[in-house]
Amino acid sequence: MELPSERSTTPKGVRERTKDAIRSELSAAAMRSFQEVGYSGTTVEAIAASVGVSGRTFFRYFASKEDAVLQPIENLGRDAAVRLLDRPARETPLQALRAAMDVAVEAVLQDVPLMRTVMRLNVENPELRRRHLQRMDEWIDQLAHALALRQGLTPTDPSARLPCSIVLAAWELALHRCAQRDGFEMVSEALDAALSEAKGFLRR
């Protein structure tokens, strides 16, 4: 697994910007369809047709309709891992991981209505929930790889997964509490509270 050392600052070309725009359109169309006709009523062909492309074109951008809905969060694990690598060496693993998770916090705060929709669809649709959890496992892999490098361990050292798994579990709890209270603006505080609970449990 390779992690970029920093985000690219090179401006995207017209072709790449066009691809990003189509991906965003397909993602928005998938969310609308899930909301309007439900999971079983949503087809890849219908999503594609609503933005004027073919089903075959859809699969150039996403592997499934679930991935289209989860598009807004697909790169957050990678971006958090990059930020983790940049954290000061004096920070403990937990401090560094919490700071790295600000990538996800910032993404939520940037578009609260979008995250509210994603989480509601996530709760209501078991298939989407399973894909979301698979994504979270990918986040753990990416963060564990970065944490291992940060601590001078081999990239696949299994001990690096435990703290990352705990932090991601706290993140999931924070999101669910925000969804229940319709208060995603407080996601940072919810994450800190969940991590505090986890630390308290581990001290028992």
Q: What is the pLDDT of residues 35-57, one digit of tens each?
A: 899 888 999 999 999 999 999 99
Confidence class for position 72, pLDDT limits 50, 70, 90: confident
For residue 20, the model assigns a pLDDT of 86
For residues 91-111, average pLDDT? 96
Q: Give which of 80, 87, 56 is closest to 7, Cα–Cα.
A: 80
Identity of the residue numbered 58: F
Residue 51 tokens, joined: 């933005």
Q: What are phi and psi of 75, to 5 degrees?
A: -100, 5
Burial of residue 18, with CB atoms counted within 10 A of its CB: 0-12 exposed, 13-18 middle, 19 or more buried: exposed
Q: Indicate the pTM of the whole model.
A: 0.84
Confidence class for position 95, pLDDT limits 50, 70, 90: very high
Q: What is the pLDDT of residues 130-164, one digit of tens each?
A: 999 999 999 999 999 999 999 999 888 989 999 99
Task: Give the chain's mean pLDDT.
Answer: 90
Answer whether residue 186 shows pLDDT above 50: yes
For residue 15, the model assigns a pLDDT of 74
Answer whether residue 8 shows pLDDT above 60: no
Confidence class for position 10, pLDDT limits 50, 70, 90: low
Instruction: Determine what percent of the chain is predicted with pLDDT higher than 90.
Output: 71
For residues 156-180, average pLDDT? 94
For residue 6, the model assigns a pLDDT of 45
CA distance 201 to 204: 5
Looking at 5-9, 41-45, 71-75, 184-188, which range is the least confident one?
5-9
Answer whether residue 16 shows pLDDT above 80: no
For residue 18, the model assigns a pLDDT of 84
For residues 25-29, average pLDDT? 94
Burial of residue 3, with CB atoms counted within 10 A of its CB: 0-12 exposed, 13-18 middle, 19 or more buried: middle
